[in-house]
């Protein structure tokens, strides 16, 4: 059998990859897989690992995200996360905009949607739900319903924000995933602020199927704070870690 020339092989492999990298398509979560609790080499299934530690474990699923990458806890009141705080959940039922009548259902919606793994059952589910629901009365109350943010006009520059405040917002909201986790480094790269604002708000991608980054709604990150954040990122064209 005659082999194709090397140039044809390289073209077949590299051209689609280059086009995909330049397409601006958001990263997709890996497809779910029938993997055990210890997917990704995590030791969270071991009996000597506290259930609370599982909330910080980025090996629970296939996406590289941990529960606390999206949710704050009663112990981390100084962080800014896109999803509701994991404190006092039983008192705030139903969760997931009314889709989850119990903490266990809410946990598995997150497990399948954001961790990209099959739903948990038995003791594994009970332990994670107990850890997620601990601290009743400590967390923030449920956010008031808000209307969807207006689409951002990428042709218009957003109001200039305060880069110093934006750096603090980045440290509280973004660094744990983008400099120290699965999201990839952002600081020190040049960004178009209007397009960046769309990404932060989740307006550049569909909610489903799953994408890697959960959106920051205006009830979590105000428009003024968004302008501060995008100004800081646009100004940080050299690494300053």
Residue 32 lies in a domain: no
Residue 1 lies in a domain: no
pLDDT of residue 221: 94
Contacts of 45 (CB under 8 A, 6+ apart): 36, 37, 38, 124
108 vs 16, residue with greater confidence: 108
CA 116 from chain centre, in angstroms, equals 12
Say if residue 101's pLDDT is above 50: yes
> Domain tally for the chain?
2
125 plus 173 within the same structural domain: no
C-alpha distances in angstroms, 34 versus 3, 61, 118, 125, 180? 37, 11, 6, 16, 28
The CATH number covering residue 219 comes to 1.10.760.10
Q: Which of 176, 175, 224, 216 is nearest to 84 (CA)?
A: 216
181 plus 123 within the same structural domain: no
Per mean pLDDT, which of 4-18, 105-119, 130-144 is the most reliable?
A: 105-119
- Rounded-to-integer distance, Cα 13 and Cα 7, Å: 10
236 vs 150, residue with greater confidence: 236
53 plus 117 within the same structural domain: yes
- Rounded-to-integer distance, Cα 103 and Cα 140, Å: 16
pLDDT of residue 2: 53
Which structural domain range is residue 182 located in?
Answer: 163-235
Residue range 26-51: average pLDDT? 47
0.85 surpassed by pTM? no
60 plus 128 within the same structural domain: yes
pLDDT of residue 143: 40
Say if residue 118's pLDDT is above 80: yes
Residue 241 lies in a domain: no
Residue 16 lies in a domain: no
Residue 46 lies in a domain: yes
113 plus 53 within the same structural domain: yes
Last residue of a domain, one of 133, 155, 186: 133
Three-class secondary structure of residue 130 per DSSP: helix
Say if residue 139's pLDDT is above 60: no
pLDDT of residue 226: 96
Residue 4 lies in a domain: no
Say if residue 33's pLDDT is above 60: no
Strand residues in 60-111 grouped as ranges (E): 71-73, 83-86
109 vs 43, residue with greater confidence: 109
The confidence band for 135, taking pLDDT boundaries of 50, 70 and 90, is very low
129 plus 168 within the same structural domain: no
């Amino acid at each position: 059998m005659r082999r194709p020339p090397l140039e044809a092989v390289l073209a077949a492999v590299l051209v689609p990859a280059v086009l995909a990298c330049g397409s601006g398509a958001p990263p997709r979560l890996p497809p779910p897989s029938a993997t055990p609790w210890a997917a990704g080499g995590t030791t969270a299934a071991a009996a000597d690992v506290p259930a609370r530690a599982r909330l910080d474990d980025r090996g629970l699923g296939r996406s590289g995200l941990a529960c606390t990458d999206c949710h704050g806890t009663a112990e981390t009141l100084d962080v800014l996360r896109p999803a509701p705080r994991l404190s006092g959940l039983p008192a705030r039922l139903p969760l997931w905009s009314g889709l989850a009548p119990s903490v266990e259902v809410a946990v598995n919606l997150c497990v399948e949607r954001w961790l990209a793994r099959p739903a948990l059952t038995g003791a594994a589910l009970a332990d994670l739900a107990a850890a997620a629901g601990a601290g009743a009365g400590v967390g923030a109350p449920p956010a008031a319903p808000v209307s969807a943010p207006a689409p951002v006009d990428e042709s218009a520059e957003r109001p200039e924000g305060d880069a110093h405040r934006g750096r603090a917002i980045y440290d509280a909201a973004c660094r744990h995933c983008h400099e120290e986790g699965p999201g990839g480094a952002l600081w020190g790269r040049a960004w178009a602020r209007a397009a960046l604002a769309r990404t932060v708000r989740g307006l550049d991608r569909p909610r489903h199927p799953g994408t890697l980054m959960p959106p920051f709604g205006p009830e979590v990150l105000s428009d003024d704070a968004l302008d501060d954040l995008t100004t800081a990122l646009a100004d940080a064209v050299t690494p300053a870690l």
